[in-house]
Amino acid sequence: MTPVRRIRTDAVPEPASASWSNALLVGRELVMSGMTGHAATRLAAERGEPLDAHAQTLLVLGKVKALLEAASGHIGNIYKLNIYVTRIDDKDAVGRARRDFFTGQDHFPASTLVEVSGLVFPELRVEVDAWARLDIDLTRCDEA
């Protein structure tokens, strides 16, 4: 049977009432729930300073990184991203955030970008599903 371990970190808290896990390490694969910029996006919106898609994407990818590091991994382990945006016009800002986040990598994770009609809170513009394997490293990826 493949071992499964729930990954937790103070950087990405789970509410006590949550009916999900932020991340599960299944063997050497880290599977993460969809990450958003909540609660930082809520606070920014309340101050009248909403976070744009670039800022939200970086915030979300930072959560992914924190979960990976809690599982003893690094961003080179990420091999797949599904990115959901509420406005497809944000695709360039999301792409710029990806380039900023994965600076120094020759290869980027496989990715899907989809426009959706809405996310769980109205101030959210980006949600990311991420998959990683602790036994791969895209910073050392060969060309096929």
Q: What is the DSSP string of 75-140?
A: GGGEEEEEEEES-GGGHHHHHHHHHHHTTT-SSPPEEEEEE-S--SSTT--EEEEEEEETT--GGG
Contact assessment for residue 82 and residue 128, using Cβ atoms and an 8 Å cutoff: yes
CATH number of the domain located at residue range(s) 4-11+34-135 in this protein: 3.30.1330.40
Q: How far is CA 33 from CA 6, 62, 72, in A?
A: 12, 14, 18
Structure tokens belonging to residue 54:
């670039």
What is the full per-residue pLDDT of the chain (144 aa) written as tens digits?
999 999 999 999 988 888 999 999 999 999 999 999 998 888 888 999 999 999 999 999 999 999 999 999 999 999 999 999 999 999 999 999 999 999 877 789 999 999 999 999 999 999 999 999 999 998 877 666
**Structure pTM?**
0.92
